[in-house]
Amino acid sequence: MLLVSISSIIRRGGQRFFRCGDRMFGHLSRVVVKVLLASLIVGTILAHFGITAHELMRATGFSTEHLEDMARQGVAWALPNVLLGAVVIVPVWFLAYLFRPPGESRD
């Protein structure tokens, strides 16, 4: 109930704040604000009951070292793939940008 009312406030009152030239960025920023707000509410409720992040990690069997190792492995896997994809995508995008007809809008 609380999240629904917060969502409607963001949708109505925040339209001018989040409105920008790029609609995708406006939508993304609304989603990020909603996720941050929901996380804050859930974190406050969990803290009220005395549940901490350290207790949750210990209960699931994770340690900070294990999570750091998993994050390093993820970056080590993703970074070369992102760079390899950029080697192909960036020149194709640049050529498409250069050779589009003059006066053509993005919309």
pLDDT tens, residue order, the chain (107 aa):
555 555 555 555 555 544 555 676 788 899 999 999 999 999 999 999 999 988 888 888 888 889 899 999 999 999 999 999 999 999 999 999 899 887 766 65
What is the spatial distance between Cα 100 and Cα 32, in angstroms, rounded to a whole number? 33
Cβ(20)–Cβ(26) below 8 Å: yes
pTM, two decimals, is: 0.47
pLDDT at 69: 95
pLDDT at 63: 86
How far from the centroid of its chain's Cα atoms is residue 35's Cα?
9
Report domain extents, the chain. 1-51, 63-107
pLDDT at 8: 59
How far from the centroid of its chain's Cα atoms is residue 88's Cα?
25
